[in-house]
Chain A
Amino acid sequence: GNSVTQMEGPVTLSEEAFLTINCTYTATGYPSLFWYVQYPGEGLQLLLKATKADDKGSNKGFEATYRKETTSFHLEKGSVQVSDSAVYFCAIGTASKLTFGTGTRLQVTL
């Protein structure tokens, strides 16, 4: 079956630091890849996505590239802000199913 492994948190960074959250997956077929974000007290919302190899998804300064050869989709941001504090979930999707990683909590301090 499909599975997603992402780095455990919490990740604590100072404002303006560089962020990387690693994500690798195993899947049958050719899935789409997603990063979701969950702010405190809210549901999940899509942050970015990529649907084929070498695609780069980007949004709000976050980026991730679909690496088929390494089955990875690492999330990066060049300069984090306090408002980026949240839980980030990597996910893979097929026609009928989404599989999530366990989530990585990011805490950004001043």
Chain B
Amino acid sequence: DVKVTQSSRYLVKRTGEKVFLECVQDMDHENMFWYRQDPGLGLRLIYFSYDVKMKEKGDIPEGYSVSREKKERFSLILESASTNQTSMYLCASSLRKTGGTEAFFGQGTRLTVV
């Protein structure tokens, strides 16, 4: 069974903390993504990566950074957490093919910043 695993289901952090969200996939996919999901806004792309050490900004990168040192792992970093970053965070991976292929998602991390 293909798998995308996010390190935590629920996380509570304080304002100003540095927060790391980890994601690992076991499918040898080139592409990896971080989205946040908010009611009424759907999924918004924060960052994506199509290769090791490569990263591209998505639609809402402000306040976030990412790291991809190994093909299977993609980390999302909140440099200084703020209450408006309270959200559900979803990691996904996919093969890099012309025309696109389906993405596989992790279970999500519900982050609360207090």
Whether A34 and B106, one on each chain, are in contact in the complex, defined by CB atoms closer than 8 angstroms, is no
Checking B33, B40, B97 against A95 with a beta-carbon cut-off of 8 angstroms, the contacting residue is B97
| Distance of A89 Cα from B100 Cα, bound (Å) | 17
| Distance of A96 Cα from B45 Cα, bound (Å) | 12
Interface flags for A81-101 (1: CB within 8 Å of B; 0: not) read 000000001001111111111
Interface flags for B25-42 (1: CB within 8 Å of A; 0: not) read 000000101010000111
Q: Which among B4, B41, B105 has the highest number of chain A CB atoms within 10 Å?
A: B105
The size of the chain A interface, using a CB distance under 8 A, is: 26
| Distance of A98 Cα from B56 Cα, bound (Å) | 13
Number of residue pairs spanning A and B whose beta carbons lie under 8 angstroms apart:
69
Q: Which among A34, A46, A101, A102 has the highest number of chain B CB atoms within 10 Å?
A: A102
| Distance of A94 Cα from B4 Cα, bound (Å) | 20
The size of the chain B interface, using a CB distance under 8 A, is: 28
| Distance of A46 Cα from B11 Cα, bound (Å) | 26
Looking at A17-25, A37-45, A72-80, the stretch in contact with chain B turns out to be: A37-45
B103 proximity list for chain A (CB < 8 A): 46, 93, 98
- Tell yes or no: B98 within 8 A of A by CB: yes
**Shortest Cβ distance from residue B79 to the other chain A in the assembled complex, whole angstroms:** 24
Whether B48 and A94, one on each chain, are in contact in the complex, defined by CB atoms closer than 8 angstroms, is no
B90 proximity list for chain A (CB < 8 A): 43-44
Whether A89 and B107, one on each chain, are in contact in the complex, defined by CB atoms closer than 8 angstroms, is no
- Tell yes or no: B12 within 8 A of A by CB: no
Whether B105 and A93, one on each chain, are in contact in the complex, defined by CB atoms closer than 8 angstroms, is no
Whether B105 and A44, one on each chain, are in contact in the complex, defined by CB atoms closer than 8 angstroms, is yes
| Supplied contacts A43-B105, A46-B103, A96-B56, 6 more A-B pairs, CB within 8 Å | A31-B100, A93-B101, A94-B100, A97-B45, A97-B100, A98-B94
Closest 7 CB pairs of A and B: A93-B100, A102-B42, A32-B100, A43-B105, A100-B43, A44-B105, A43-B107
List chain B positions with a Cβ less than 8 A from chain A.
Answer: 4, 31, 33, 35, 40-43, 45, 48, 50, 56, 90, 92, 94, 96-108
